[in-house]
Amino acid sequence: MKQLNIKNIVVLTGAGISAESGIPVFRSETGLWENHRVEDVCTPEAYDRNPALVRNFYDGMRVKLANIKPNPAHLALARLGREWKGGYTLVTQNIDNLHEQAGSENVIHMHGELMKIRCYEDYGGCGTVVETDRPQDPEQPCPNCGKKLLRPHIVWFGEMPLDMDLISERLSKSDLFISIGTSGVVYPAAGFVRSAKFAGAVTVEFNLEPSATKGYFDAGVYGKAGTTLPDFVDRLLSRGSEYISELIRGA
Ligand code: BV8
């Protein structure tokens, strides 16, 4: 096997990394979205039909987030971001702010952020993004254009995820792609491992069980991320490429 020389790391996280912090994952037995049907709360059409229902859905999650703390998996990634000597990109599908609370910086939230609202361009708004930590007041005017068109700054199904050009550029230069706590069913995020592989990266997934895209991973580390990730980061920082070679040889 060719000698690995890992420089650039890209990490993708999903709901599974926040599960041990108490945030439920999406794919539950009932297939409902926190007791709602996806099409009723997570599409532009749902918002057109019933903006109050959609706002209330995210208001509920935002208020709960105030009492939720990062877990050792978030802390391990914050340490990796601080101590890794090469390139490091953290992309998350999650809308919570647990990576930031754990100390991660420059987090790419490709599906938006719960603690932000945006002046809705489709309705004639200006696109300005506003931080918030409280339930949304539909009468709140945009601080930039003054219109009352603020909506959750969340990427719904059928909407284009954020920062896709930046993500594609980092994937094209990745030497190691690490996917953590995602079922690999929603695109384009689920396709990132394929892009990384085509760029020649080593690919590793962390999950409770193999994901839908398991075939693209050179190795899988199965167990709770709060336990598996700190150990992985420790070994990666102390032994680098040699450890990754060992991991994929043993896969
Ligand atoms: C787009 C924000 C195009 C909202 C989210 C047919 C085929 C293929 C694709 C499509 C299709 N029809 C439509 C599409 C596209 C669609 C899609 O992929 N649909 C799927 C359902 C088939 N995608 C989109 O619409 C995307 N946009 O394609 O735009 C476009 C082009 C041009 C112009 C305009 C548009 C946008 C998708 C974004 C939707 N928003 N989130 C909110 O959060 O409320 S999606 C949401 O679900 C997440 O963000 C994430 O992306 C996705 C999946 O969730 P996961 O994070 O994976 O969580 P999940 O519960 O599924 O899994 C948890 C995992 O963790 C499990 O594997 C579990 O085992 C593991 N786990 C649990 N505990 C732990 C653990 N692992 C480790 N440790 C633990 N302790």
- Digit-by-digit pLDDT tens for the chain (251 residues) are 668 899 999 999 999 999 999 998 887 655 556 678 888 899 999 999 999 999 999 999 999 999 999 999 999 999 999 999 999 999 999 999 999 999 999 999 999 999 999 999 999 999 999 999 999 999 999 999 999 999 999 999 999 999 999 999 999 999 999 999 999 999 999 999 999 999 999 999 999 999 999 999 999 999 999 999 999 999 999 999 999 999 999 87
Q: Which atom of ligand 1 is nearest to the CA of 159?
A: 35
Structural domains of the chain sorted by starting position, each given as residue range(s) with its CATH number in brackets: 9-23+70-111+161-249 (3.40.50.1220), 32-67+120-154 (3.30.1600.10)
| CA 27 to centroid of ligand 1, rounded, Å | 9
Taking alpha carbons only, the member of 198, 202, 199, 197 closest to residue 176 is 202
Report the nearest-CA residue for atom 17 of ligand 1.
Answer: 186
Looking at residue 32, its pLDDT comes to: 55
The CA 167 to ligand 1 mean position distance, Å, reads: 16
Measured in angstroms, how far is the CA atom of residue 139 from the centroid of ligand 1?
A: 31
Q: What's the whole-model pTM score?
A: 0.96
User: What is the reported pLDDT for 3?
Assistant: 82
pLDDT for the residue 53: 95
Quote the pLDDT of residue 250.
83
In the structure, which protein residues have their CB atom closer than 6 angstroms to any atom of ligand 1? 14-16, 19-20, 25-27, 42, 93, 95, 111, 154-161, 181-183, 185-187, 189, 206-209, 211, 224-225
Q: How many CB atoms lie within 10 A of CB 49?
A: 12
What atom of ligand 1 comes closest to residue 184's alpha carbon? 57
Q: Give the pLDDT of residue 36.
A: 81
**What whole-number distance in Å separates Cα of residue 71 and Cα of residue 228?**
12
The three-class DSSP label of residue 176 is strand
| Alpha carbon of 187 to ligand 1 centroid (Å) | 6
Beta-carbon contacts of residue 221 (< 8 Å; ≥ 6 apart)? 204, 205, 206, 228, 232, 247
Q: Cα(53)–Cα(210) distance, rounded to whole angstroms?
A: 35
Residue the block writes with tokens 């009468």: 139
Distance, first Cα to last Cα, the chain? 14
The pLDDT score that the predictor gives to residue 34 is 67
Among 109, 113, 187, which is best to mutate for testing ligand 1, by the most ligand atoms less than 8 A from CB?
A: 187
Residue 25: predicted pLDDT: 86
Query: Beta strands 112-119 and 150-154: pairing type?
Result: antiparallel
Distance 46 CA to ligand 1 centre (A): 17
> Residue 51's beta-bridge partner residues?
none
Task: Name the active-site residue from 74, 99, 109, 111.
Answer: 111
Q: What is the pLDDT of residue 39?
A: 81
Quick one: pLDDT at residue 21?
96
For the question of residue 111 being annotated catalytic, the response is yes
| Pocket probe mutation, ligand 1, options 34, 65, 157, max atoms within 8 Å of Cβ | 157
Closest ligand 1 atom to 20 CA = 80
Strand 9-13's sheet: what is its strand order? 108-109, 88-92, 9-13, 176-180, 202-207, 219-222
pLDDT at res. 30: 54
